[in-house]
Amino acid sequence: MTPAQATIRTRHADAGGYEALPYARRGLAYRLFLLCAAAVWWALGAPFRRGWVVLCYHGVSDRQAPGFARQVRMLRRRAGDLAELDSADPRGVRVALTFDDAFESLLRNALPLLRERAIPATVFLVTDNMGATPRWDMPRGHPERDEPVMTRDQLAGLVAGGFHRVASHTHTHRPLATLDQAEIEAELRRSVEVLGGLGVTAPGYMAAPHGSWDDRVQRACESLGLRILTLEPGLCRPGCARIARFSATPDMWPLEFRLLVRGGYAFLPAVRGLAHAIRGRTADSPARLNRESQGRTGP
């Protein structure tokens, strides 16, 4: 894959702003279609479905805190640690929580609650952005555009606490597949070095900014002992080369979330493959398009 092939299509500020709900960005009718399809998929396959649903959140604002608390209650005994993914093939569907960008709001509205419920989470840090609002491009109206990232001291305290994990979201949040080899390696290596200064001796994971990766990124990650987390939805099984994630937000309808964490939305890769085929693209396109900065985090 060439850098030109990995061009990221970004929604401009004058295109109408940002829709925060990941399954609502193509309108209410499409959202209801997905909901009904998820209900049918879950009903037909629930007794046989096994794997991990890995959720990708970003910030959790004060307004969203009650919704997030409700979602945590829905998880019940399904929640587990991302590190358990390879330990054994689960019976049924398990859920792991991840948070991209390490926003400060997590310290108020998410991480303490998860610790109370004994649910470990993985927080992905852009290591060059500690203590500042995002320096990477975000569309107009994005809810975290003015939200500060955790400071160095806050992150060091989080690491020292030993319950939640802090891992790599690269150094500057650039789409990796658009960079040359030296830039890819520098983004990853510098991130690992800074994380080491915070007390993270083995990050183990790298959430690809903008969902952007290719074979060169894969090899560079493997050389540093990092496993890629994508923004492509799908159930994960032990030994998967990359970890797929479903976009999530506290603003989801309760029924949407309930179906999501039970594997109901596991049909989305097939929908995406069909859409790619209709558009004349392969279902396994190497371009990994960002959902968090395009305003298109959902399917």
What's the pLDDT score for residue 19?
Answer: 56
User: Residue 77's pLDDT is what?
Assistant: 85
- Our measurement of the distance from residue 255's CA atom to the centroid of its chain's CA atoms, rounded to an integer in Å, reads 20
pLDDT tens-digit series, residues 230-279 = 999 999 999 898 999 999 999 999 999 999 999 999 998 877 777 667 76
Give the rounded percent of residues in the chain with a pLDDT score beyond 70.
84
Which DSSP helix (H) or strand (E) runs through 97? strand 93-100
Q: What integer pLDDT is reported at residue 275 of this predicted model? A: 65
DSSP per-residue codes, 207-247:
EPGGG---HHHHHHHHHTT-EEE-S----B-TT-SSB--EE
pLDDT of residue 280: 65
Domains of the chain: 19-73+89-278 (3.20.20.370)
| Count of positions (residues) in the chain | 299
> What are all long-range contacts of 141-145, with beta carbons under 8 Å and residues at least 24 apart?
141/17, 141/18, 142/18, 142/20, 142/293, 142/295, 143/18, 143/20, 143/58, 143/59, 143/61, 144/58, 144/59, 144/101, 144/103
Q: Is the pLDDT of residue 112 over 90?
A: yes
pLDDT at 281 over 70: no
Given a contact cutoff of 8 angstroms between Cβ atoms, the answer to whether 126 and 171 are in contact is yes
pTM comes to 0.86
Express each pLDDT in 123-174 by its tens digit: 999 999 999 999 998 888 788 989 999 999 999 999 999 999 999 999 999 9
- Express each pLDDT in 77-93 by its tens digit: 899 999 999 887 778 89
Q: Which of 229, 236, 220 is nearest to 269 (CA)?
A: 236
* Strand, helix or coil for residue 90: coil
